[in-house]
Amino acid sequence: MPIQKLRRIAEIIKQQKKITIVSHIIPDGDAIGSSLALGMALGKLGIRVQILNQDEVPKIYTFLPESSKIKTEFDFAPETIILLDCSDLGRIGSLRDLLPKQGLIINIDHHISNTNFGDFNYVDTGASATGEIIFELVELLNGSVDKDMATCLYTSILTDTGSFQYENTTAKTHLVASSLLSAGADLGLIRSSLWENVPLTSVRLLAKTLKTLAVDPRGEIAWVSIPFETYSKHVFDLEHIESIVNYPKSIEGVEIGICFREFAPGKVKVSLRSKTKVDVSLLAESFGGGGHKRAAGFVSEATLASVMDTVIKKAQSYFN
Amino acid sequence: MPIQKLRRIAEIIKQQKKITIVSHIIPDGDAIGSSLALGMALGKLGIRVQILNQDEVPKIYTFLPESSKIKTEFDFAPETIILLDCSDLGRIGSLRDLLPKQGLIINIDHHISNTNFGDFNYVDTGASATGEIIFELVELLNGSVDKDMATCLYTSILTDTGSFQYENTTAKTHLVASSLLSAGADLGLIRSSLWENVPLTSVRLLAKTLKTLAVDPRGEIAWVSIPFETYSKHVFDLEHIESIVNYPKSIEGVEIGICFREFAPGKVKVSLRSKTKVDVSLLAESFGGGGHKRAAGFVSEATLASVMDTVIKKAQSYFN
């Protein structure tokens, strides 16, 4: 992406007196980390900032500096709005109804599916996380990131790359991560909060779920399932449960890993992952869902047993 | 560490015609990755190289370029020997008996416990992995690392930092990782080999082991155990089993995580991890073992039940 385009956005931002930052529903580490870091940078420029999200900050990210500044309701009427990590306007959920008819929309994202819905758009699909872009933007705005911004942006990148394991990890990702540690990103705090603060019941849920592990006769598909009875008995952060699908996927020879979880009676969330060959977004689309080639999903209202049966048969058809 | 000292070692290496590279018993990703990368760099200089280890390359690391060149027996009598990732000469195991009385020993390591046993020593305790040092050494020797060396060194750093999660991860670590990806390190190959190639029985062993999870009444110590009957029924790489101790440690409020595994009838390996307060190397030493503040261990020949009882009681005494 041409840096000039980001420089132009930085210039426009500097001309504003009030800015509203919004990110997507069910916010993840990148949505929250990049919102907070940008909010801090704008605040330092004397801009009045409100950071909004339809949903509360998940408990696992409340360790981030200034996380309590993310609100679900407006302090002031939004005019200039920066949307972060949203591929389209629908991603901000119910907040969309509150957007003004007039006003400036700046769209900063790294998703390939971004619809360029803003008045100004900066979509760098080569960036591992929106936080990787915000690092550059903050340098253009403030000269450099401070310790708190660095902790937020390091968390953005860390969570969106699965701790530098996903294929979006590039040489530039590590270069930015290096700058963030140099700027004082608190890896000790991040470590103790993300990886050493898991509820006991979350580990118990993992143990129960791994017991359900099954592999199809040809070894190409593996899955785990969580019936509502198990699901409702445990306390966990969504981050913990969403990573369970990596266990079936991790098995040698397996191409598709699946997690079926009945999150409400008769409502099943199906998470699909693939290694190198199968485009699971097509599989998800055939059930009304969507996603990426290697990670997709959908929600079904059939019974757990029937969803499992249907999805596994459909997945098997990809190997015939 | 002064780069001059490493430059001096590079000059000495360039004067050699034959070099033997040796690393420690039960080799890990750093031992193997740094041995292979240095071997390739020396080969390019026209130096005759043999790479030795007392033990075979673990299956999980056989994906590394030229991994079959690591032998357990000598091709030629060693004279100039470079020991990598060994804190003392004992770490090379039975190969120690085969070392010549005369000859040059170069010691390159990152462990704080290194005894500086070599004729030339380069011990950088700030390096996340020996691979991080070898990256610099190869640059001094050859100007730059090539694609295969980069894959080996990225694996060194990745495995010794627990995928950039341990506290040895620094700004420099990420800087080197960035250079290695730029040099062509094959993260796709590393990913599919390390994280997507787990034997099914290894995941089944994890499921069985997590079922044994227990926490002491005050919530400060958590442990899992693997009786020999379970252990002997499963196939796994040591890397997989050694990471199981992270599950009890990950629980909120827990300071000490322990894994007890009966790896032979009546022989129990006890792995100890701590988060921030307890020095588990002292706990291990009180049972004849050793290690670091945050990661230590020992082997006991008592019964599994009695080892568990004794160690947990001793661990509890740290909180009184």
Q: Do the Cβ atoms of A181 and B192 come within 8 Å?
A: no
Q: Bigger pLDDT: B19 or A167?
A: B19
Q: Mean pLDDT, to the nearest integer, of B46-62?
A: 97
Q: Determine which of A196, A198, A239 to mutate to test the interface with B (most B C-beta atoms within 10 Å).
A: A196
* Residues 6 or more apart whose Cβ sits within 8 Å of residue B48: B17, B18, B19, B76
Distance CA B91, CA B111 (A): 12
Chain B contact for A273, CB < 8 A? Answer: no
> CB B181 to CB A170 under 8 A?
yes
Share of chain B above pLDDT 70, in %: 100
User: Torsion-angle region of residue B13: left (phi > 0), alpha (psi -120 to 50) or beta?
Assistant: alpha
Q: Indicate yes or no: CB of B198 within 8 angstroms of CB of A275.
A: no
Of A108-122, A154-168, B94-108, the poorest mean pLDDT is in: B94-108
pLDDT at B1: 67
Instruction: Starting at the earlier edge strand, list the strands of the sheet with B70-71.
Output: B70-71, B48-52, B18-23, B81-84, B105-109, B120-123
Indicate the SS3 state at residue B217.
coil
So what's the ipTM on this one?
A: 0.93
What confidence score (pLDDT) does residue A240 get? 82
Cross-chain residue pair A203–B213, CB shorter than 8 Å: yes
Contact B192 A167 (CB under 8 A): no
Correct CATH for A200-317 of 3.40.50.300, 3.30.1300.10, 2.60.40.10, 3.10.310.30: 3.10.310.30
* CATH hierarchy code of domain B200-319: 3.10.310.30
Q: From CA B311, how far away is CA B320, in angstroms rounded?
A: 15
- A258 CA: distance to closest CA in chain B (Å): 14
Pick the range with the lowest mean pLDDT from A29-43, A81-95, B93-107, B198-212: B93-107
Q: Which residues of A touch B182 (CB under 8 A)?
A: 171
Q: What is the mean pLDDT of residues B129-157?
A: 97
Which residue among A169, A173, A196 places its CB closest to the CB of B250? Answer: A196
pLDDT in tens, B224-233: 999 999 999 8
Q: Is B264 on the interface with A (CB under 8 A)?
A: no
* Residue A275 to residue B179, Cβ atoms within 8 A: no
Q: What pLDDT does residue A119 have?
A: 96
- At residue B61's C-alpha, the angle toward residues B58 and B66, to 5°, is 110
Amino acid A220: pLDDT: 97
Domain boundaries, chain B: 3-194, 200-319
- CATH superfamily name and code, A3-194: inorganic pyrophosphatase (n-terminal core) (3.90.1640.10)
Question: Has residue A292 got a pLDDT over 90?
Answer: no
Nearest CA in chain A to B200: A251
Chain A interface test: which of B249, B251, B256 (most A C-beta within 10 Å): B251
Whether pLDDT at B127 is above 70: yes
Give the model's pLDDT for residue A101.
Answer: 83
- The chain-wide mean pLDDT, for chain B, equals 95
Q: How crowded is residue B33: how many other Cβ atoms within 10 Å of its Cβ?
A: 33
Q: Express as a percent the part of chain A with pLDDT over 70.
A: 100
Contact at 8 Å (CB) between B134 and B110?
Answer: no
Q: pLDDT at position B36, please?
A: 98
Give the residue on B whose Cα is nearest the Cα of A194: B250
Q: What is the pLDDT of residues A254-274, one digit of tens each?
A: 999 999 999 999 999 999 999
CA distances from B148 to A67, A174, A186, B84 (A): 43, 19, 33, 19
pLDDT in tens, B274-306: 999 999 999 999 999 988 899 999 999 999 999
pLDDT of residue A1: 67
Q: Is the pLDDT of residue A253 over 80?
A: yes
B218 three-class SS = coil
User: Which pair of structure tokens corresponds to residue A207?
Assistant: 């143990």
Tokens encoding A264: 């409400």
The reported pLDDT for the residue numbered B172 is 98
- What pLDDT, in 10s, does the model give residues A88-133? 999 999 999 888 888 999 999 999 989 999 999 999 999 999 999 9
Q: What is the mean pLDDT of residues A8-29?
A: 97
List, for residues A184-228, the tens digit of each pLDDT value: 999 999 999 999 999 999 999 999 999 999 999 999 999 999 999
